[in-house]
Amino acid sequence: MIASAAKRDLIIATDVGGTCTDTVVFVPGAPVVLGKRLSTPPDYAHGVLDSIGSAADALGLTLAELFARTRLFIHGSTVVDNTVFERVGARTGLVTTEGFEDTLLVTRGAYGRWAGLSEDKLKHPVHTERAPALVAADCIAGVPERVDYKGEIILPLDEVATERALRHLVETREVEAVAVSFLWSFNAPEHERQVKRILTRIAPDIYCTLSSDIAPVPGEYERTSTTVINAYAGRVVRDYLTDLEHLLANSGYDGPLMVMQGYGGLLPSGSAADRAIGMLECGPAAGVIGSRALGELLGQPNVIATDMGGTTFKVAVIQDGAIEYAIEPMVDRFHYTQPKIEVVSIGAGGGSVVSIEADTKAPLVGPKSAGSRPGPVCYGLGGEEPTLTDVFMLVGYMDPGVFLGGAMTLDPDAAHRAFAARIAEPMGLSVEQAAIGVYRVAAAQITDLVHEITVERGLDPRDFVLHVFGGSCGMLAGAFAAELGIRRFVLPYTASVNCAFGLISADVAHEYIATQLLPVPADPAAVEAIFAPMAVEARAQLASEGFDDDHIVFERSIDLRYGRQVHELRTPVPFSGPFDAAGLASVADGFEALYERRFGQGSAYREAGMEMTRFRLTGRGVLERGTPVPAALEGEDASAARSGTRRAYSVAAGAMIDMPLYDFERLRPGNAVAGPAIVHTPITTLVLQQGQTGRVDALRNIIVDVD
Amino acid sequence: MQAIDPITFSIVRHRLFRIVEEAVITLKQVSGSAITNEGHDLMVSLYRADGSLLMGGVGFLHHLTSASEACKSIIRRFEGDIHPGDLFLLNDPYTAALHTSDIYLIAPIHFEGELVAWSACFIHVFDIGAMTPGGFIPDARDVFNEGFSSPGLKLIDRGRLRQDIWDTILNMVRGPEMVALDLRSMIACNNVAGDRTLALVGKYGVEAFDGVCSALIEQSETKLRRRIAALPDGRWQARQYFDVEGETIQIMATLTKEGDALTFDFTGSSPQSIHPVNCTRWATWGGLFAPLFPLLCHDITWNEGVIRPVTMIAPPGSVVNCERPAPVSVATVAAIQSVNNVAGTLLSKMLVSSPDARGEASAGWHGNHFVIFTFGVNQRGAYSIGVLTESFAGAGGARTFADGIDFGGELPNPISRMANVETTEAELPVRYLYRRRRVDSAGPGFYRGGAGGEFAIVPHDAPTGGIDYVVVGKGTGFPQSDGLAGGMQGGTNAYLHHHRVSGDLASDGTPLPWGTHMLRAGEALYVRWNGGGGFGDPYLRAPELVAADVASGLVSLEAARTCYGVVFGPDETPDLDATMALRADRLSGPTAGGHGSGIALSADGAHCSHCATRIAPAGAPWKSQARLWTRPVASLSGAAASVDARVEMRQFGCPACGTLLDAEIALPGDAYLDDIVKPSGAARAAA
Per residue in B314-333, pLDDT tens? 999 999 999 999 999 999 98
Task: Assess whether A108 and A128 both reside in one domain.
Answer: yes
Show which of A176, A208, A238 is a domain's final residue. Answer: A238
B-contacting residues of A 147-166, CB under 8 Å?
Answer: 148-150, 154
Do residues A554 and A592 both lie within one domain? yes
Q: What is the pLDDT of residue B492?
A: 92
Interatomic CA distance for residues A41 and A49, integer angstroms: 13
**Chain B partners of A109 at a C-beta cutoff of 8 Å?**
390, 392-394, 407-409, 416-418
DSSP string, B169-194: HHHTSSSHHHHHHHHHHHHHHHHHHH
Least CB–CB distance from B18: residue in A122, A184, A448: A448
Identify the CATH number of the domain in which residue A611 sits: 3.30.1490
A101 lies in the same domain as A204: yes
Sheet of strand A655-663: strand arrangement: A642-650, A655-663, A677-680, A685-688
8 Å CB contact of A148 and B425: yes
A324 within a domain of the structure (yes/no): no
Judge if A27 and A68 occupy the same domain.
Answer: yes
Distance CA B520, CA A129 (A): 40
Residue B591 has pLDDT above 70, yes or no: no
Is the same domain home to A617 and A678? no
Pairs of residues, one from chain A and one from chain B, whose beta carbons lie less than 8 Å apart: 225
The SS3 assignment for A574 reads coil
Return the number of other C-beta atoms located less than 10 Å from residue A684's C-beta: 21
B453 min Cα distance to partner chain A (Å): 10
* Nearest-angstrom CA–CA distance, B461 and B476: 31
The ipTM of this complex is 0.94
CA torsion through residues A413, A414, A417, A420, sign: negative
Q: Check if the beta carbon of residue A123 is closer than 8 Å to that of residue B21.
A: no
φ, ψ for residue A132, nearest 5 deg: -55, 140
Among B364, B332, B353, which Cα is nearest to B239's?
B364
Q: Report yes or no on A312 lying in a domain.
A: no
- SS3 labels along A491-532: ECCCHHHHHHHHHHHCCEEEEEEEEEEEEECCCHHHHHHHHH
Nearest CA to B353 among B675, B8, B580?
B675
CATH number of the domain where residue A177 is located: 3.40.50
Give the closest-approach CA distance of B37 to chain A in angstroms.
8
**DSSP tag of B83:** -
**Residue A303 within a domain:** no
Chain A residue with CA closest to B392: the answer is A109
Specify the pLDDT at position A44: 83
Nearest CB among B10, B17, B421 relative to A119 is that of B17
Domain identity same for A23 and A78: yes
Residues A54 and A120 in one domain: no
B461 contacts A150? CB cut-off 8 A:
yes
Please give the pLDDT value at position A620. Answer: 94
Helices then strands (H, E): number in chain A? 20, 33
Q: Are residues A143 and A180 in the same domain?
A: yes
Kind plus residue range of the DSSP H or E element containing B205:
helix B176-229
Q: What is the mean pLDDT of chain A?
A: 90
Confidence at B212, pLDDT banded by 50, 70, 90 = very high
Q: Residues A568, A585: one domain?
A: yes
Q: Domain of A597?
A: 507-621
H helix runs in A377-463, sequence order:
388-394, 412-419, 425-427, 431-453
Per-residue pLDDT reduced to its tens digit, A80-139:
998 998 899 999 999 999 999 999 999 999 999 999 888 888 899 999 999 999 999 999
How far B422 CA lies from chain A's nearest CA (Å)? Answer: 6
Which residues of chain A from 198 to 227 reach within 8 Å of chain B, CB to CB?
Answer: 218-222
- pLDDT tens track for A227-267: 999 999 999 999 999 999 999 999 999 889 999 999 999 99
How confident is the model at residue A3, as a pLDDT?
41
Q: Contact, A138 vs A173, CB < 8 A?
A: yes
> Would you call A397 helix, strand, or coil by DSSP?
coil
CB pair distance less than 8 Å for A448 and B15:
yes
Nearest CA to CA, how far is B277 from chain A (Å)?
26
Contacts of B556 (CB under 8 A, 6+ apart): B439, B440, B550, B637, B638
CA–CA distance from B117 to each of B10, B54, B218 (Å)?
Answer: 19, 9, 17
CB contact under 8 A, B405 and A122: no
Q: Helix B281-296 and helix B335-352: axis angle, to 10°?
A: 40
DSSP string, B551-618: HTTSS-HHHHHHTT---B-TTSSB-HHHHHHHHHHH-SS-SS-TT---EEEETTEEEETTT--EEE-T
Instruction: Measure CB to CB from residue B298 to each of A100, A103, A123 and give the nearest one.
Output: A123
The answer to whether the CB of A275 falls within 8 A of the CB of A87 is no
Residue A446 lies in a domain: no
What are B535-564's pLDDT values in tens digits? 999 999 999 999 999 999 999 999 999 999
CA distances from B632 to B16, B364, B643, B644 (A): 52, 20, 10, 9
CA–CA separation, B554 and B407 (whole Å): 12
Please indicate, yes or no, if residue A380 is contained in any of the structural domains.
Answer: yes
Assess whether A160 and A225 both reside in one domain. yes
Tell me whether residues B434 and A100 touch, CB distance under 8 A. yes
Q: Let me know if residue A488 belongs to a domain.
A: no
Three-state DSSP state, A268? strand
> Is B298 close to A113, i.e. CB distance below 8 A?
no
Answer yes or no: is A245 within a domain: yes
> Same domain for A200 and A275?
no
Query: Do the Cβ atoms of A119 and B26 come within 8 Å?
Result: no
> CB neighbours of B400 closer than 8 A, spacing ≥ 6?
B352, B358, B359, B361, B362, B447, B484, B485, B535, B595, B596
A282: left (phi over 0), alpha (psi -120 to 50) or beta: alpha
Choose the final residue of a domain: A432, A452, A471. Answer: A432
Helix and strand numbers (H, E) in chain B are 13, 27
Identify from A123, A337, A451, A567 which residue to disrupt to test chain B contact, counting B C-beta atoms within 10 A and taking the largest count: A123
Strands (E), A602-701: 610-621, 642-650, 655-663, 672-674, 677-680, 685-688, 692-696
Least confident range from A620-624, A693-697, B621-625: namely A620-624
| Nearest CA distance, A604 vs chain B (angstrom) | 8
Query: What are the backbone angles phi and psi of residue B441, rounded to the nearest 5°?
Result: -80, -25
The alpha carbon of residue A357 is apart from the nearest alpha carbon of chain B, in Å, by 10
Confidence of residue A1 (pLDDT cuts 50, 70, 90): very low
Burial class (CB in 10 A: 0-12, 13-18, 19+), B578: middle
Element containing residue A3 per DSSP (H, E): none
Q: Above 50 in pLDDT, residue B152?
A: yes
Strand partners for B53? B47
Residue A17, domain member (yes or no): yes
| Neighboring chain B residues of A101 at a CB cutoff of 8 Å | 436
The alpha carbon of residue B685 is apart from the nearest alpha carbon of chain A, in Å, by 35
Per-residue pLDDT band at A557 (split at 50, 70, 90): very high
Chain B within 8 Å of A137 (Cβ-Cβ)? Answer: yes
What is the reported pLDDT for A5? 44
**Mean predicted confidence (pLDDT) in A271-292:** 92
Give the HSE-up count for residue B31: Cα atoms under 13 Å, Cβ half-sphere: 29
Closest chain B CA to residue A437: B7
Q: What is the dihedral of CA A409, A410, A411, A415, to 10 degrees?
A: 170
When CB atoms are compared, the residue of B14, B192, B379 closest to A444 is B14
pLDDT of residue A405: 57
* Cβ-contact B287, B340 below 8 angstroms: yes
Most confident range, picked from B19-23, B442-446, B502-506? B442-446
Interface membership of A325 toward B (CB under 8 Å): no
Q: Please give the tally of structural domains in chain A.
A: 5
pTM of the predicted model as reported, rounded to 2 decimal places: 0.93
Contacts of A437 in chain B (CB under 8 A): 5-7
Domain boundary among A221, A247, A279: A279
Asked if residues A489 and A481 have their Cβ atoms less than 8 Å apart, the reply is: yes
DSSP code, position B208 = H
Helix (H) or strand (E) holding B24: helix B6-31
Residue B610 region, left (φ>0) first, then alpha (ψ -120 to 50), else beta? alpha
Look at B472 and B547; give whichever has higher pLDDT.
Answer: B547
- Asked if A217 and A172 sit in the same domain, the reply is yes
Q: Is the pLDDT of residue A457 over 80?
A: no
Residue A377 pLDDT greater than 70, yes or no: yes
Is residue A382 exposed (0-12), middle (13-18) or buried (19+ Cβ within 10 Å)?
exposed
* Angle in degrees, CA A11, A13, A14, rounded to 5: 150
Three-class SS of B239-253: EEEEEECCEEEEEEE
Listing DSSP states for A192-210 in one string gives HHHHHHHHHHH-TTSEEEE
CA–CA dist A401, A685 (Å, integer)? 13
User: B602 pairs with which residues across the strands?
Assistant: B605
Chain B hits for A564, CB-CB cut-off 8 Å, are 32-33, 178, 384, 427
Calculate mean pLDDT across residues B458-462.
Answer: 95
Cα–Cα distance list, B647 to B441, B485, B510, B640 (Å): 17, 20, 21, 12
Output the average pLDDT for chain B: 92
